[in-house]
């Protein structure tokens, strides 16, 4: 396993823990986790991408190893934080990848800060519908404990999946007020929308709607997988990201 360098990024009272793995130079990728998770959920994906890229995996404020912020931030403000992190690193034309809520954060970062990346670079994100589905299908919106800080998923912390009870704490409640449909038309970067064939949280019809709203969007579906398609195993998500980043030729 590649050596992990864990550091902190501080900006205007916010503290965000992040790890850096993979290549020391060359193209960079920033991995943003979903609700109730942390950077460790990307351990396997980061190792695979790290063969070709410099990988930055973040713990958003209040998640994983990052301390609780003094006030809960909305998705747009968190997108601004990611943008500041990219400038501080500094990273030139990075690939941004987000799972679930992380996709919404990535979308805001790109829409609000188009200078982060040229259209020639590739970006990938995955978002959640504006309204959580009713019943068990909405369970993947759940966070960690209802009180206290959500714990990062990883070894010893299984990632969220369909069928778990829905728990939303104060830090997570801002997710429900975000409207990804209004953000997508303002993204000028190339975006790969990646979904699972059996995803009940983000069904194909909604992913198609989101893709159509993107000026430069493309949809790929992973057969036989659900909402966890990019966090349980690194493949085939890693291949699709590298292909979209133009670091690997398209599969024949």
Domain that holds residue 219: 5-244
Q: For residue 249, tell me if it sits in a domain.
A: no
Q: For residue 251, tell me if it sits in a domain.
A: no
Q: For residue 60, tell me if it sits in a domain.
A: yes
3-class SS of residue 145: coil
The pLDDT of residue 192 is 94
Q: For residue 20, tell me if it sits in a domain.
A: yes
Residue 164 pLDDT exceeds 50? no
pTM score, two decimals? Answer: 0.82
The pLDDT of residue 71 is 82
For the chain, helix, strand, coil in percent to 5 are 30, 20, 50
Q: For residue 140, tell me if it sits in a domain.
A: yes
What's the burial of 134, exposed, middle or buried (CB within 10 Å: 0-12/13-18/19+)? exposed
Q: pLDDT digits over 109-144, tens only?
A: 999 999 997 543 444 454 454 443 322 222 222 222
Q: pLDDT band at 230, cuts 50/70/90?
A: confident
| Contact in structure between 126 and 107 (CB atoms under 8 Å) | no
3-class SS of residue 85: helix
Task: Specify whether the backbone of 134 is left (phi greater than 0), alpha (psi in -120 to 50) or beta.
Answer: beta
Give the integer Cα–Cα distance in Å for 149 and 67.
8
Task: Report the CATH number that the domain containing residue 86 is assigned in CATH.
Answer: 3.40.50.1820
Q: For residue 26, tell me if it sits in a domain.
A: yes
Mean pLDDT of 173-191: 86
Mean per-residue pLDDT over the chain, rounded: 79
Q: For residue 62, tell me if it sits in a domain.
A: yes
Q: pLDDT band at 104, cuts 50/70/90?
A: very high
Count the domains in the chain: 1
Residue 89 pLDDT exceeds 80? yes
Token pair recorded at residue 1: 């396993």
Helix-helix angle 101-112:75-88, to 10 degrees: 70
Q: For residue 111, tell me if it sits in a domain.
A: yes
């Amino acid at each position: 396993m590649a050596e992990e360098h864990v550091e902190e990024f501080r900006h205007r009272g916010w503290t965000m823990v992040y790890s850096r793995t993979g290549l020391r130079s060359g193209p960079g990728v920033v991995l943003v986790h979903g609700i109730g998770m942390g950077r460790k959920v990307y351990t396997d994906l980061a190792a695979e991408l790290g063969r070709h890229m410099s990988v930055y995996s973040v713990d958003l404020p209040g998640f994983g190893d990052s301390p609780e912020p003094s006030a809960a931030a909305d998705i747009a403000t968190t997108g601004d934080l990611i943008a500041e992190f990219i400038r501080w690193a500094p990273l030139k034309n990075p690939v941004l990848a987000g799972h679930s809520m992380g996709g919404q954060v990535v979308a805001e970062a790109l829409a609000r800060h188009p200078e982060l990346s040229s259209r020639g670079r590739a970006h990938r994100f995955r978002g959640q519908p504006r309204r959580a589905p009713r019943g068990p299908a909405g369970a993947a919106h759940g966070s960690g404990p209802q009180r206290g800080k959500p714990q990062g998923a990883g070894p010893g912390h299984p990632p969220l999946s369909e069928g778990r009870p829905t728990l939303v704490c104060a830090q997570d409640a801002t997710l429900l007020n975000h409207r990804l449909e209004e953000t997508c038309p303002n993204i000028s970067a190339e975006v790969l929308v990646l979904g699972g064939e059996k995803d009940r949280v983000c069904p194909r019809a909604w992913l198609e709607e989101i893709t159509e709203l993107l000026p430069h969007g493309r949809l790929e579906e992973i057969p036989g997988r659900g909402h966890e398609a990019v966090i349980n195993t690194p493949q085939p998500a890693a291949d699709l990201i590298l292909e979209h980043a133009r670091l690997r030729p398209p599969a024949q």
